[in-house]
Amino acid sequence: MNYIENLTTPQIKKIHSGKVRESFRIDPNTRMIVATDRVSAFDQVLKTPIPGKGAVLNGIASFWFEKTRDIIDNHLIEVIDPNISLVREATPIRIEMIVRAYLTGSMWRNYSKGKREFSGIKVGDNLKKHRRFPELLLTPTTKEESDREISPKEIIDQGWVDADIYEQMESISLQLFKRAEEYLEKRNLILVDTKYEFGLVDDKLVLIDEIHTPDSSRFWMADNYNKDPENAIQMDKEVVRAYLLQNKVNDHYRDELPQEIVHEAATRYNQIFEMITGEAPSFDISNVKNRIYQNLVRRELMKEGYVVIVMGSSADVEHCEKMKKVVEKYDIFSEMRVMSAHKNGEDIIANMAEYDNSVEPGAVIAVAGLSNGLGGALGANLSLPVINCPPFKDQTDIMVNVNSSLMMPSKTPAATVVKPESAALVALRSLNVQRLRDTFRKEVQEVKSKLREDDKKIRGM
C-alpha cells in the first residue's frame, strides 16, 4: 500500500490519536509522533487517505524545526522514517498561539458578522476579507474539549502559564512567524496564519507539536493572491474542500474522495513541500507500512514480530509461560492475554484489532481446553495464523482437551499443536521472518549433525 492510515502494533503503546497524527510512548522522556496520510476537512476525518501527505507534513515540520532552532529550542530529536519523528516529551502548555497576518478563515467569518474583539484584541471597523493586518495579530486559544479564545491577561490570571513564560511565548511566536515570512517571500508563498504550541522541558520553554505545516497553517501562492486577493485559494486542501462543497449529499459532506481528487491533493502536497524546502519529495511510498516496519525494527523500537498467547482462563498461565519463554528466546515480542470465547467473546474482536492490523508480522496461540471455542473464534475473525495449544494435566487429559481443538468449522483456520514448546516454534515459523528462517535452518542442520555423530559413536567409529 502506498499510504498509511493507521499505525498499529502491540509493541509500542499508543497514547493519543488525533485527527491526523498518532502519538506513542517510547519512554518517559520520549514520544513518537506518526504523521499518517489521513486528511480532515470541515472537522471530519475522511475515509480516503492522501498518499504521501504524512511524509510531506513530517518533512516540512522537521525542516522548520531545524531552521528555527536559533530562535527557540524544539522537541525534535530525530526523524526516523519519512512519516515518523521521535520527540522529547514536554509538559504541554494548553494554549495555542495563533498568529495571523491576514483576515481570513473563522476570524473573517466572525468579523463579517460584526464581531470586533478576538482573544481580547479589538480590531478596526473597515477591514476587508483577506487583507493584511497593519501588524501581526496574536489570537491565543485554549486547548480544551472545544477550543476558546482567551486573552493574554486571562491566560496569566487563570494560571495557564506564568507571566514571564507567556511573554516569551508571545515574542517567540512573532519571531517564528517573521522568520517564515521572510523565507517564503522569495518562494512565491504567503504564510497567512499559523499556530504554535509550547511545552516545558526541565522548566525551559520549547516549541512542540508541529511548525508551519499545511495542517497547522494556511498558505497562499503570492501571485494567486495578488491577482485576486478575495479569492486567494488555500494551497493544500482547497481541492478537497471544493469537492466536498460541490458534492454534498442531503446537505451533508461526503466522507470519501474520488481517485482524481486524491491524486490532485497528493500533487498539491508535494508541490507545497517543494516550494517550502526547495527539493522535490523523494520519499519511497511504494510500500509505506513495510518501510515503517523496517525502520522501527532498525531503530530497535520494535522486535521483528510478535506472538500473542491468548488463554481462556488465567489458570492456564503456567502452560502459556512455557511458550512465552521459547518465543522470547528467539528475540520475538510475546505477550499473554486472557479472553474466553464463551464468556466474553464480544471482547475478542475489539481486543484483537490492534494485532490484526499490526505493521509487523504476528501469530496467535489459543489456549483453551475442554470445549475450545477460543481458537475457532480467533481463526474465524482474524487474518493472523492461529495455533491451538490446549492445556493438559497428563496423558489422559490430553485426549479430552485436544479433541475439541481438532475439528474446526469451515473457514475457521486454526492448527493444533500439543506440546507448548512446539506450538511456540510453529508460531515463530509462521512469522516468516528472514532472520528466524536462517536460525531455524541452522538448528535443523545441528540436529542432523548430532544424529550422524551419535550414529558414528554407536558403531564405534
Ligand X SMILES: Nc1ncnc2c1ncn2[C@@H]1O[C@H](COP(=O)(O)OP(=O)(O)OP(=O)(O)O)[C@@H](O)[C@H]1O
Residue ranges in contact with ligand X by CB under 6 A = 16, 18-21, 23, 31, 75, 87-90, 92, 197, 199, 208-209
SS3 85: strand
CA 222 – CA 216 distance, rounded (Å): 19
Q: What share of the chain is helix, strand, coil (3-state, %, to 5)?
A: 40, 25, 35
The pair phi, psi for residue 381, each rounded to 5°, is -105, -15
Residue 353: what residue type? A
Q: What is the DSSP string of 289-353?
A: HHHHHHHHHHTTSS-S-EEEEEESSGGGHHHHHHHHHHHHHTT-EEEEEE--HHHHTHHHHHHHH
Rank residues 35 and 378 by Cβ distance to ligand X and give the closer one. Answer: 35
Count Cβ atoms within 10 A of the Cβ of residue 241 and give its class: 0-12 exposed, 13-18 middle, 19 or more buried: middle
* Helices and strands per DSSP (H, E), number in the chain: 15, 20
User: Is the Cβ–Cβ distance between 40 and 20 less than 8 Å?
Assistant: yes
Torsion of CA 109, 113, 117, 118, to 10 degrees: -20
Closest distance between ligand X and the C-beta of residue 445, in Å?
Answer: 49
Q: Is 30 or 224 the residue whose CB approaches ligand X more closely?
A: 30
Q: Say how far apart CA 26 and CA 154 lie, in whole Å.
A: 35
Quick one: 210 exposed, middle or buried, by C-beta within 10 A (0-12, 13-18, 19+)?
A: buried
